[in-house]
Amino acid sequence: MPIDLPLNPIVAKVTDRIIARSAQTRAAYLDLIARARDAGVNRDVLSCGNLAHGFAAAGEDKIALRDNKSINIGVITAYNDMLSAHQPYGRYPEQIKIFAREVGATAQVAGGVPAMCDGVTQGQASMELSLFSRDNIAMGTAVGLSHGMYEAALLLGICDKIVPGLLIGSLRFGHLPTILVPAGQMATGLANKEKQRIRQLYAEGKVGREELLASESASYHSAGTCTFYGTANSNQMMMEMMGLHVPGASFVQPGTKLRQELTRAAVHRVSQITWEGDDYRPLGHCVDEKAIVNAIVGLLATGGSTNHVIHLPAIARAAGVQIDWDDMDELSRAVPLIASIYPNGSGDVNGFADAGGMPYVIRELVEAGLAHGDILTVYGSSLLEGAQQPVLDGDALRWDPAPRESLNPAMLRPVTEPFQPEGGLRLVQGNLGRGTIKVSAVDRSRWTIEAPCRVFSDQNDVLKAFKAGELERDVVVVVRFQGPAANGMPELHKLTPSLGVLQDRGFRVALVTDGRMSGASGKVPAAIHVSPEAKKGGALALLKDGDVVRVCAETGELLALVDAADWAARTPAQAPEEAIGVGRELFAIMRHFADPAERGGSAMLAAGGL
C-alpha cells in the first residue's frame, strides 16, 4: 500500500498551519538533539570514573559495558504495585535485560518515576497533585537519561499523566531511539454501564457502601489497565497513531505469552535503530508535526479522553511543535467517530481489540487520507505498517494484516459508515472564555443547554447541594477556581453520578468548569478546561447564582447571557485560600507559574521557554 495517499484537505490545511507556526521552535529543537547526539553527554565522553560508577553493579553485563562495544538501553519505569495497570511492570527490567542480551545489547534501569492512580485519588484532596505529577515524571525521566550511559531508551508506563510525562522528558533526549512498552489491560469485569448504574443509585441513597464497593471491585478486579476508554487507554491509542509502539502492542492482556513476545520485540527493535547502524530513528524525528496531528486524529476518531486536550499541547511543545484548540476543533469537523467504547458505547477496550482494534483504526484512517502514513515510526517505512495484528505462531511472534472489515460493527466501523460524521471534541468560546466539550457520549439533544447557573468553588459543595435537593431543576453547574494556578486542576469526575441522576430525572443539566473531567466522563455535557481560569482573571469569577449560561456544542458558544453593562461593572470573586496537606504545598511553585490549559498547564515548560 503506497504511503503517498491523498490527504483530506482539512487535515492537510491544519498540518501545514502547525508546520508554519512551529517553524522556529521546531528548528531549534532539531538543532538541540543533533548537538546532543554529536557533542552531548554520552558514553564516549564519560571519564573512566564516570564509567566505573555507571557499570559498577551491572553484574554479567559489566564487561560489555566496560568495553563499550554494545548498545546499552536505558529503561525508565513507572512501576508500582498499587496501580493495577503498572503492577505487571515489576518483572519487566529483568526480562528486558535477558531480551537485550539475545541481540548483543545490554539494559539498565535508568530511573523510576512516580505513577499516580487517578482512580484511587479521584475526588480526594490528593487529586490536586495529579496534573503536576506529569511534569514531575518528565523531570524524573530527564534525570534518569541525563547520565549519558545509554544509546536507546524504553519507557514503561501506561496511565493518565504517566505516558505524557515520560514522553515529554524523553523528548528532551530526542537523539535517543525510544519505544514505549505497554503492559496491557485487565480482562473484562462488571459491565461499565452496570457500574455506572450502581454509582447513580448510591448517589441517590438507594444502595449502600457495601453494594457500591462490590460493584467497583467487580469492575476493577485484577492487574492491568482499567477497561473503559479513559485517559490510560487513550494514551495507548496515541502511541500507536504516532508509531511509537511495536505494531498492535496496546491492547494485549498482561501475563500472556503474546504480551511477553511484544516486549521482547520492542527490546530487539530499539537495539536496531540507534546511530551506530544504518536505520537511525531518534525519538525527536519520530515525534514531528505529522505525528502530533495523527495523535489528534486518533483521539477524535475513537472518542478518546478530554485530558489529551491538555497533554497533547504539552507533548508537542517538548518537541518544538505548537498546537492549539482551534487545530483540534477544525480536525474534529473532518474526522468521523469510528469507535464506540465505554463511555461512548457499551463495550470495553477488550471488545474494541477483538473487533480489530488499533490495526483496523490505523488502516482506516490512513487509507481515507485522515492520518499521515508517511511518518517515521519505530518499526518501518510508514504508519500503515502498524496496521498489523500481533499473533503467536507456536511460540514465535508474527504480524497479520488488520481485518478488512470490522469484526463487531457495534464497536468499530469503517470511515464510510461512522457512528458520527464528526469527531468527539468541540471548542466552545465566548464571554466566559475558551473551553472544550466532549460530545461523543452526549445525546445530540443535549448539545445545547441554556439555564440559570449555580456557582461553586468546591466540588464537595456541589454534592451537598445535590443531596439537599437544591439542584432539582434545569441548571448549569459552575465549578470555578479549579484551574492549574488555583489548585492544580483536579479531575471532577466525582460529580458525574450526581449530575447524571439529575439528567435522568428529566432536567437539562450541564457543567462548566476551569477544572478537568475524567476520561471516563460521558453523558452529561461539560464545558471544561475553561481558559483563562478564574484564578488568572477568567470570566468565571464574574458569574453569580442565577445568571443564565448557554453552552452549545453546535455553535461553539460558551456565554453568560448577562447585560453587558452589568457584566462590565462586576468585581471578580475572591479565590479560596490555597490548601495544604497531602503534599500540595510542595507543588506551590507549579501552581504559581503554570501556564493556561490550552498550552498544557505546565510551569515547567513555561519556565523552560518551550
Note whether 558 and 567 are within 8 A (CB): no
Residue whose entry in the numeric block shows the C-alpha cell 496496546? 250
Within 8 A by CB and 6+ apart from 177, the residues are 151, 152, 153, 270, 273, 274, 280, 281, 282, 283, 378
Grouping H, G, I as helix, E, B as strand and the rest as coil, residue 510 is strand
- How far apart CA 182 and CA 249 sit, in angstroms, is 7
Note whether 462 and 498 are within 8 A (CB): yes
- How far apart CA 291 and CA 377 sit, in angstroms, is 9
Q: How far apart are the first and last CA of the chain?
A: 37
- How far apart CA 234 and CA 228 sit, in angstroms, is 10
Note whether 219 and 192 are within 8 A (CB): yes
Nearest Cα to Cα of residue 596 among 605, 587, 588: 605
- How far apart CA 198 and CA 204 sit, in angstroms, is 10
Note whether 297 and 14 are within 8 A (CB): no
- The x, y and z cell numbers of residue 202, run together, are 448510591
- How far apart CA 235 and CA 560 sit, in angstroms, is 34
- Beta strand ranges found along 350-457 (DSSP E): 388-393, 396-401, 425-430, 433-438, 448-456
User: Parallel, antiparallel, or unpaired: how do β-strands 72-77 and 152-156 relate?
Assistant: parallel
Counting DSSP H helices and E strands in the chain, the numbers are 24, 14
10, 11, 12, 15 alpha-carbon torsion, rounded to 10°: 120
Is 159 labelled as part of a ligand binding site? yes
Would you list which residues are annotated within the binding site for [4Fe-4S] cluster? 159, 226
Would you list which residues are annotated within the binding site? 159, 226
